[in-house]
């Protein structure tokens, strides 16, 4: 039987949810033409009814606080989940999948933690689970990775996937602001939350990195597999030092195959990248993801990484697909974990490093420092020495590729030298 | 019945075809895991057998000159067409579709001319027709437009879709080369063909623009609907003049909704864009496409636009999808023409213009020139006057938005002024 109407339950009605409802209504004819059936809002689950929701344009009788009941209703075909967080979202999605309802979600934390289990449930019950909006807002990314590049061998995904931290680092780079000052400005403009922890400590980017790695490398990767370091220790001196070497500091999410191809390394940390790299030009709160594949070469996806309307665009794109699939009685490509690669230990991950040291300005210091690097097998690419006050110098060392392990040992060794007053900063250098 | 092997016929075995065959063989296990069935090469149609094709690694007995017979064979499930051009490709693809075989093609000329008819045939026979490789090489673009942004309202697609002309213009911008010199260099490096007409006259970009417009606006648009102007008239003076105003000259493919939303304007021409625009930074033979959508905002796709391996990557991505669909007994989204918008007449298309005039250096010239603009209702944004020799001056006028019609009449009027010796160049200004 060909359905003429598909009924959608919306779980959550914040900025994104109300935008989804608005676009579903306003662009109803276009969506119908593309799907071959009308989408109808069956209900909207909210935490509290009674709030004035007139501005949303949603009929008041559609609101309910009984999300579980809404998901179970027989007249609901598709679910859009924009509550966020692990529970109750997880339970509601599982309940929907078990009842044969396809789900579109923007929930990165949940997909990063439970992607494998949720995909397995969707596959078992023959329904779709789509989540383009979970990573990089409106930028088409998960579907291109999953489908367009499905015939290729992806070796690396390198991205700026958190707009808040990119805004902060961009301010530090463009105006010489300190971290605290730039964060405060981001908060006053609404780019950062009152509690900015999830962004500035890299949790948000790490969840997205786990999702990207799972898809790109056909292996289950979760949050806890991601090496994570935020931007709170990035100083204006780091940013200036990057500038001096023609680089810029960005918070990067990096997913890459280990040299032997059997393991996946996933990490989120600030890094210096050359200003000539396409990611270096990503300004403000924008996102961009750079994908390296064997045959395709380097491709990049760029756009707004957050916001109600862009996120709603990604959700509606998914909704059109799952609705079409539902009508056709089929499902799109589900979870793909056949490669089942292990996680590459961070200690064995190799990158270049930028290290700045506060040292005594006297003969023999450089020799002592160089000896420590040599003892740990870390090869030096360049050394720059700057004397600002008598007896007091700054040494900036950029290394060739070295393992995290070797570098950590080197830094510990440097800290034990009498002539080194302080290891002021250690930052990875990428995209060379 | 679940198929365990899908047999693929390859039509054409040039640079792209042999790369497709190589990747199908080398990455066979990965492809099988992603598809759920093995892909097997059933035959390769070439114009002449007997050439030494040992390097391709394809078993000699697979080659045939009987492309039509290969397509008709009952043991062939899927067709990859990389012959190019209209015939015999068109007839072969139609024959395949009529026999229930899904087709993957890289043929931009054919899809630009006959997309509507071919999609209709594919839909009628319940098979897939995919052609990601036809536009912008390995960059995932058609599928994101067709699927990821399916829930959004696209208003504009602005792209650099021809690598050869971008290489030439980039050389002119970076090294001050003239057009002829830059073309020669592109030819010596293999970026341009011995007969470069298709690239430098904009035919290649126009075909891609027609395909992009059809998909973005759900309306049949063909080559003949595209206003086309190549780069052969772009001079080093134009490039220098662009530089002076903080812009760069690019060959752009522009597909946009007319202001009333009922018509689609599609054009390919050189234009000046600000250096701050993300497309300005696209160097060498790279491609990039900028999409503006109501909810998503501005997203960009960037990567290598041509080459054997990147094009093969796009073909294999499509092949994985059509193979999966074939196994599932389904098809992906077919042609979508529901909006059926008419083509916006070029004369009514409005852009800003950069006009440079060789004029007598005497009082009253600017007044006379300004009067001609005013008479045709074209508003001037800036005028820059430069005197290089006595009595001889250059006037550079940048207009506000004006229709092509009004601008053409203005230029004719300027040509009739005694004081204007020559209208040296007229170029559109985009991306403001």
CA separation for the pair A279, A272 (Å, rounded)? 11
Instruction: Flag whether pLDDT at B224 surpasses 90.
Output: yes
- Reply yes or no on whether the pLDDT at B420 is more than 50: yes
**Residue A1 in this model has a pLDDT that exceeds 50:** no
Phi first, then psi: what are they for A243, rounded to 5°?
A: -55, -45
B2 — pLDDT class (breaks 50, 70, 90): very low
Contacts of A309 in chain B (CB under 8 A): 294-297
Q: How would you write chain B as a 3-class SS string?
A: CCCCEEEEEEECCCHHHHHHHHHHHHCHHHHHHHHCCEEEEEEEECCCCCCCCHHHCCCHHHEECCHHHHHHCCCCCEEEECCCCCCCHHHHHHHHHHCCCEEEECCHHHHHHHHHHHHHHHHHCCCCEECHHHCCCCCCCHHHHHHHCCCCCEEEEEEECCHHHHHHHHHHHHHCCCHHHHHHHHHHCCCCCCCCHHHHCCHHHHHHHHHHHHHHHCCCCCHHHCEECCCCCCCHHHHHHHHHCCEEEEEEEEEEECCCCCEEEEEEEEEEEECCCHHHHCCCCEEEEEEEECCCEEEEEEEECCCHHHHHHHHHHHHHHHHHHHHHCCCCCCCCCCCCCEECCHHHCEEEEEEEEEEECCCCHHHHHHHHHHHCCCCEEEEEEEEEECCEEEEEEEECCEEHHHHHHHHHHHHCCCCEEEEEEEEEECCC
Domain with CATH 3.40.50.720 in chain B: 5-137+308-328
A144, A153, A324 member nearest B333 (Cβ): A324
Mean residue pLDDT across chain B? 94
Query: What's residue A42's pLDDT?
Result: 97
CA distance A23 to A10: 13
CATH superfamily of B347-429: ACT domain (3.30.70.260)
Residue A195 CB burial class (10 angstroms; 0-12, 13-18, ≥19) = exposed
Q: Where in chain A is the domain with CATH 3.30.70.260?
A: 346-429
As to burial, measured by CB atoms within 10 angstroms (0-12 exposed, 13-18 middle, 19+ buried), residue B66 is exposed
- pLDDT exceeds cutoff 50 at B119: yes
List, in order, residues 6 or more apart from B75 with CB less than 8 Å away. B7, B42
Domain B142-304: CATH superfamily, name plus number: Dihydrodipicolinate Reductase; domain 2 (3.30.360.10)
Q: Which residue of B has its CA nearest to A144?
A: B140
pLDDT digits (tens, 9 = 90+) for B136-156: 988 999 999 999 999 999 999
Q: How long a stretch of residues is chain A?
A: 432
Beta-strand pair B350-360/B342-343: unpaired
A255 is in an annotated binding site: no
Chain A residues inside the 8 Å CB shell of B149: 140, 313, 317
Q: Which of A124, A208, A250, A401 is catalytic?
A: A208
Residue A180: pLDDT over 80: yes
Instruction: Find the CB nearest B295 among A144, A151, A310.
Output: A310
- Provide the token pair at A401: 């590729």
- Which of A295, A315, A338 faces B313 most closely, judged by CB atoms? A295
B418: closest CA of chain A, how far (Å): 48
Neighbours of B51 (CB within 10 A): 11
Of A149, A302, A317, the CB nearest to B300: A302
Residues of chain B with CATH 3.30.360.10: 142-304
Q: What is the mean pLDDT of residues A161-189?
A: 96
Residue B401 known to be catalytic: no
Put simply, the answer to whether B299 touches A295 (Cβ < 8 Å) is no
Would you state the pLDDT for residue B217?
Answer: 97
Average pLDDT estimate for A414-429:
95
In chain A, residues with a C-beta closer than 8 Å to the C-beta of B299 are 138-140, 301-304
Nearest CB to A149 within list B33, B153, B313: B313
R_g of chain B computed on alpha carbons: 24
Q: Which DSSP string corresponds to A29-42? A: HHHHHHHTSEEEEE
Residue A430 has pLDDT above 90, yes or no: yes
A30, A321, A338: residue with CB nearest B153:
A30
What's residue A49's pLDDT? 79
* Size of chain B, expressed as the number of residues it contains: 432
Contacts of A213 (CB under 8 A, 6+ apart): A157, A219, A221, A225, A226, A255, A264, A266
Which residues neighbour A115 within 8 Å (Cβ) at sequence distance 6 or greater? A210, A211, A214, A220, A222, A335
For chain B, where do the domains classified as CATH 3.30.70.260 start and end? Answer: 347-429
Query: Which pLDDT score, from 0 to 100, does residue A388 have?
Result: 72
- The pair of three-digit structure tokens given for residue B24, joined into one six-digit string: 């199908």
**Best to test chain B binding among A78, A133, A151 (most B CBs inside 10 Å):** A151
- Contact between A34 and B338 using a beta-carbon 8 Å cutoff: yes
Q: Band of the pLDDT at B208, cuts 50, 70, 90?
A: very high
- Chain B residues in contact with A281 (beta carbon < 8 A): 278, 281
What is the homologous superfamily of the domain B5-137+308-328 according to CATH? NAD(P)-binding Rossmann-like Domain (3.40.50.720)
In this predicted complex, what is the ipTM? 0.91
Provide the pairing of β-strand B286-293 with B154-160.
antiparallel
Q: What is the mean pLDDT of chain A?
A: 94
Distance from C-alpha of A315 to C-alpha of B150, rounded to nearest angstrom? 10
Mutate to test the interface with A, among B23, B128, B296, B331 (most CBs of A within 10 A): B296
The three-point CA angle B209-B211-B215 to 5° equals: 115
Chain B residues close to A149, C-beta within 8 Å? 140, 313, 317
With CB atoms and an 8 Å threshold, state whether A19 touches B312: no
Residues of the binding site of B for NADPH: 108
- Chain B residues with CB under 8 Å of A292 CB are none
CA distance B58 to chain A (A): 19
Q: Is A13 annotated as a binding residue?
A: yes
Closest-CA distance, A241 to chain B, in angstroms, reads 25
State the pLDDT at residue B116. 96
Q: Give CA separation, A353 vs A348, A370, A378, in Å.
A: 14, 14, 10
For residue A394, give how far its alpha carbon lies from the nearest alpha carbon of chain B (Å). 35
Q: How confident is the model at residue B1 (pLDDT cuts 50, 70, 90)?
A: very low
Domain A346-429: which CATH class? alpha beta
Q: Which of B101, B124, B208, B401 is catalytic?
A: B208
DSSP state at residue A432: -
Separation of alpha carbons B389 and B370, rounded Å: 22
A144/B149 touch (CB, cutoff 8 Å), yes or no: no
Give the gap in angstroms from C-alpha A287 to the nearest C-alpha of chain B.
10
Query: Is A17 marked within a binding site?
Result: yes
Distance from CA of B126 to the nearest CA of A (A): 12
Percent of chain B with pLDDT over 90: 87
Percent of chain A with pLDDT over 70: 99
Determine the 3-state secondary structure of A235 from DSSP. Answer: coil
**Which residue of chain A is at minimal alpha-carbon distance from B318?**
A148
Place B319 in a pLDDT band, splitting at 50, 70 and 90: very high
With contact defined as beta carbons under 8 Å apart, do B268 and B157 qualify? no
Q: Are B302 and B282 in contact (CB under 8 A)?
A: yes
- Cβ-based contacts of B330 with chain A (< 8 Å): 328, 330
């Amino acid at each position: 039987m060909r359905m003429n109407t598909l009924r959608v339950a919306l779980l959550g009605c914040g900025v994104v949810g109300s935008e989804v409802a608005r676009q579903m209504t306003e662009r109803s004819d276009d969506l119908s033409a593309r799907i071959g059936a009308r989408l109808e809002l069956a209900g909207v689950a909210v935490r509290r009814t009674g709030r004035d929701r007139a501005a949303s344009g949603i009929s008041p009788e559609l609101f309910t606080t009984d999300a579980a009941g809404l998901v179970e209703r027989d007249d609901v075909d598709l679910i859009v989940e924009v509550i966020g967080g692990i529970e109750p979202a997880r339970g509601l999605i599982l309940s929907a999948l078990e009842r044969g309802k396809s789900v579109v979600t923007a929930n990165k934390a949940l997909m990063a933690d439970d992607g494998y289990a949720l995909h397995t449930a969707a596959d078992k019950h023959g329904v779709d689970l789509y989540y383009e909006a979970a990573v990089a807002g409106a930028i088409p990314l998960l579907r291109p990775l999953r489908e367009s590049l499905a015939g290729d061998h992806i070796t690396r995904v390198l991205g700026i996937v958190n707009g808040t931290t990119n805004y902060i680092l961009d301010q530090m780079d463009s105006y010489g602001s300190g971290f605290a000052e730039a964060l405060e400005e981001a908060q006053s403009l609404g780019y950062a939350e009152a509690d900015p922890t999830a962004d500035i400590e890299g949790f948000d980017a790490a969840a997205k990195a786990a999702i990207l790695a799972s898809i790109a490398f056909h292996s289950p990767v979760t949050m806890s597999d991601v090496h994570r370091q935020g931007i709170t220790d990035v100083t204006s001196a780091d940013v200036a030092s990057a500038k001096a070497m023609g680089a810029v500091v960005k918070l990067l999410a990096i997913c890459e195959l280990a040299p032997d191809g059997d393991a996946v390394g996933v990490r989120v940390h600030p890094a210096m990248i050359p200003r000539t790299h396409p990611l270096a030009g990503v300004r403000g709160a924008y996102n961009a993801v750079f994908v390296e594949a064997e045959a395709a070469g380097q491709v990049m996806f760029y756009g707004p990484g957050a916001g109600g309307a862009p996120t709603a665009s990604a959700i509606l794109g998914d909704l059109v697909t799952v609705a079409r699939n539902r009508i056709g009685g089929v499902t799109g490509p589900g979870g793909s974990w056949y490669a089942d690669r292990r996680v590459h230990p961070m200690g064995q991950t190799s990158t270049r490093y930028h290290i700045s040291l506060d040292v005594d300005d006297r003969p023999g210091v450089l020799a002592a420092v160089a000896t420590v690097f040599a003892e740990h097998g870390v090869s030096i690419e360049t050394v720059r020495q700057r004397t600002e006050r008598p007896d007091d110098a700054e040494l900036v060392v950029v290394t060739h590729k070295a393992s995290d392990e070797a570098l950590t040992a080197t830094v510990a060794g440097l800290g034990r030298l009498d002539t080194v007053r302080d290891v002021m900063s250690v930052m990875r250098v990428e995209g060379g």
